[in-house]
Amino acid sequence: MATAMVKPAHQGGSVRRDASAVPLEVYGSLFDALHEIAASLYIGTLATTIAALITAWWAESWILLGFAVAIAVAASVRIRGMIAYGRARPSLRSAEGLKAWERRYIVGSTVYLAIMGGWCLACFMVSDDPFVRLFGFAGVVAYMVGVSGRNFASNALVTAQILGGGIPLTLSLIYAGPLYYTILVLVLVPFFASVKLISDRLRKQLLDAVISARDITELAARFTTALNNMPHGLLMFDAERKLVVANERLIELLGISRAVVVAGMSPAELLTASHAFSDTHDLGRFAAEFERRLSGVPGELIVEAGRDRWLSLTARPMENGGSVVIAEDVTERRTSEQRIHRLARFDNLTRLPNRNSFHEHLSDVLEMARPEEQFAVLFVDLDEFKQVNDTLGHPAGDALLCAVADRMRTIIAAPDVVARFGGDEFVVLQYLGERDLAALDDLARRIIETVSKPYQIEGQHVIIGASIGAALAPRDGSDPDLLLKNADMALYHTKSNGRGTWRVFDPSMDAEVQAKRALEMDLRRALAEGQFELYYQPLINLRTKRVTTCEALIRWNHPERGLIPPGKFIPAAEDIGIINEMGDWVIRTATKECASWPETVRVAVNLSSVQFRHSRLTAVVAEALAESGLSPKRLEVEITESVLLRDTPGVRTILGELVAQGVRIALDDFGTGYSGLSYLHTFPLNKVKIDRSFVAQLNSGDRSLTLLKGVARLSSSLGLSVAVEGIETQEQLEIIAAEDTVDEVQGYLFSMPLPVAQIRKFIAVHADDSDLSFTGGNPGGKMRQTEAA
C-alpha cells in the first residue's frame, strides 16, 4: 500500500547506448518498442504503396508498377513478422533469441527501405516529369524522417535504413544532372546526419527511462520485501495523522484484515479495527495516548494485546511532520522480566520469598508498626539436613527442602511470612501485636513438630529435625539487619546447647559470639604463624611390650590464652574452612617425624570425614611420604564410623587409593555411633581400635567385657589386628591382657600424649626388648584427629 523513491545507483552517470550492453530486461524493452505502434507501419505502408501506384499510373510505367507491388509485398512480410514476434515474445528468455529477432527485423526494414529507394531512383530514370520525380523523392524522405520517430530504439536499424534510403536518393539526384540537384545532394548529407542524431538522442532518453523505471520497480520491490520481512511492525503516518504505510508484520500483530487497512486511515480507526485490542477495557484512552505519542511525546507505550500477549509501540517524528511507529511483540521480554523479578524476590527452588524480598517486607513492617506492636523473627535451621544431602545426594536434598517449604506454608498464615534464605535456613516473620511470648512459643513448637515428622523422599524414609532462634522487635532491635543478626545468634546457641528446640535472643549471647569470632581470627593466624604442634601417644604391643605405633594428636599453644582444648578450636576450624589445611599439616609433620624413629615404629594420623571430601587427600599423603622418605607401611590412618557411614563412591575410592599406596587403615573408636559390623568386611581395614567406653565399664559387670571380647574375637577372625583404647589402671590392663585376640593397648597407664622431644626419648627406651614399666601419666584427654582434622 506504499511505494518508496530511492535514487538508482547509476543515476546521473553515463549509460551505454548499445542495447547489447544493457541488462536483458532493458534490452527486451527497447526491442519491444519497435513493435508497440503497429498502426504506424500499416499506415506508412499503405501510403507508400498508393504513392508508388500513382507514379506508375502517371508515368504509365510497368517498372514503377512493379516497385509498387514489391513495396506492398515487403510490407506484408514485415507485418507478418511483427505478428509472429508478438506470439513468440513470452517464450523469449535469452539475449540470443532477442538478437535473432532483431536481425530479422533490421533485414526486413532495410530491404523495405531499399525497395523504396529503388522506386525513387526508378522515378528519376523512367520519367522526366517533375511530378513523378517529386512524388518518389518526397515519399522516401518522408519515410526516412519517420525512422527517427519509430525505429530509434535500434541503432543498427537506424543506420541501415539511412544507408538503404540515402544511397538511392543520392544516386537519383546525381542521375538527374542539373546543378541544383547536385546542391540538393549536399543538403541531404546533414539531413541524414540530423536524422541519425535525433534517433540517437531519442534512443538514449528511452534507454534512461526504461532503466529508471526498472530501477524504481526493483527498489520498490526491495522496499516492499524488506518492509514485509521486518521482525517488527511498522506504521507511517503523514503530517495530518493519516496512514501511509503499514507492513505485513504490523497487520499480523494488530490482528487486522488486510482488506481493512487502507491509506488515509486515522490512528483511532486503525486501533478500532484491530482484534488485538478488542479486549482492551479503555480503548479510547489508549487511542488518545497513542495520538500523544504521534504528536511527539517520547516514551515506549506498552499495551496488553489479547491474552498473555504484550505489544510495544514507539513513535518517532519525521522531517515532513509525519511519524513512524515501530510495533514489537514484547511478550517474551515481558515474561523474562517477570521471571527475573520472581528470581530476584523468590527462591527458585521452594518458591518462597527470598532474602531480599523478606528484608524489604521486614523493613516496611517495622517502619509502619505502632509502638505497642510486637513482631518476632524466627531463624529455622534443619538438623541433619547435611547428612541427607551427603548420603542421598543433592536432588534428594532439594526435594526435602521443597517438602519442608510445603509444610511451612501450612503452618504460617497471613499476616505472618515465611522465606528461605538459602541452604537449609528458613526465616519466619510473626506478627504478635500486643500478645505475650506464648504465641511465639506455640508457633516455634509447631514448626519443630511439623518439620520433624518423617518424609518419603525418592523412596527413602527420611527424618530430620529443626532448631530455631528468635528475636523480638522492638525489644531486640528495630533495624532489620540487627533483628536478623540477633535471631541468628539465638539459633547458634540453640544448636550449641542441644538441637530440636528454640531460644529467644539474650544480650549475653553477643559476648559469646564475639569470643567465637576472636577465636576464629586467632585460629587463622595460628596456622599461618605455626602455633600448632603435634603430641604423640604410644600404642604398646601386649605380647612384646614394645612401642609399635604412636598416634599423632594436634595441640594449639596460644601465645596469650595458653593451651586451648581441641574441642574448642576444632569445630571453629571446620566452620571457617581451614580444617583441610590443618589436616595436611598434620600428615606432613607426622610422616617427617616418624622417619626419624626406629623402623619398627609406625605413626597413626586421624582423618576426619571433612578430609574425605578433600579432593587432594591421597595426593597429600603421597607427597608427604615422598618428602619424608617414610615407607608407606609405617603410616597408619585412623578413620571413624562417621566416615564409613556415608559409604559414598568417593570414600571407597580414597580408601582404595591409600591401600594401593601401602598405607594401613584403622577403624578408630569402634563401638560408638552406629557400630556397623558390616564395616569390618566391606572396607579395606587393617586394624580395629575398640573405644575407651568399653574399658571404662569393665568394672560394672560382665556385659561390657563380653561385648569387648566378642568384638575383639570377631575382628581377629577377619584378619584384623585389635587395639583397645583408654587403659588407665593395672586392673584394666590385666583383664584386657587375658584376652589373646587383643594385640595393642593405649592409655594413660602407659603414657599421656607427649611432645616431640619426650616421645623420642620414650621410643628410644621402649622400642626394643627392654622391660616396660607402666607408671602411668597425668590424664589430660586426647584430641582426636577425627575431630581436629
Question: Exposed, middle or buried: residue 365 (CB in 10 Å: 0-12, 13-18, 19+)?
Answer: middle
pLDDT digits (tens, 9 = 90+) for 80-133: 888 887 788 778 777 787 788 878 877 887 888 888 888 888 888 888 888 888
Dist CA 759 CA 744 (whole Å): 18
Label residue 733 by pLDDT band (50, 70, 90).
very high
Tell which wins on pLDDT, 189 or 633.
633
Dist CA 502 CA 465 (whole Å): 12
Dist CA 778 CA 537 (whole Å): 13
Q: Are 540 and 752 spatial neighbours (Cβ–Cβ below 8 Å)?
A: no
> What length does the chain have?
789
pLDDT at 18: 46
* Strand stretches in 740-783, DSSP E: 744-745
Tell me the H-state helices in 11-129: 24-33, 38-59, 62-88, 95-126
**Arithmetic mean of pLDDT over the chain:** 81
Bond prior to 371 in cis (omega within 30° of 0): no
pLDDT at 33: 66
**% of residues, the chain, pLDDT over 90:** 28
SS3 353: strand
pLDDT digits (tens, 9 = 90+) for 254-295: 777 777 777 778 777 777 777 666 555 555 566 666 776 676
Where is mean pLDDT largest: 267-281, 726-740, 745-759? 745-759
> Mean pLDDT lowest for which of 41-45, 51-55, 461-465?
41-45
Tell which wins on pLDDT, 642 or 437.
437
Dist CA 131 CA 55 (whole Å): 8
Label residue 246 by pLDDT band (50, 70, 90).
confident
**Beta-carbon count within 10 A of 640 CB:** 23
Predicted model pTM: 0.48
Mean pLDDT on 220-243: 76
Residue 776 φ/ψ, nearest 5 degrees:
80, -175
533 is written with which cell numbers?
604442634
Dist CA 307 CA 588 (whole Å): 68
CA 470, 475, 481, 485 torsion-angle sign: negative
541: left (phi over 0), alpha (psi -120 to 50) or beta: beta
Has residue 526 got a pLDDT over 80? yes
Label residue 149 by pLDDT band (50, 70, 90).
low
Tell which wins on pLDDT, 562 or 751.
751
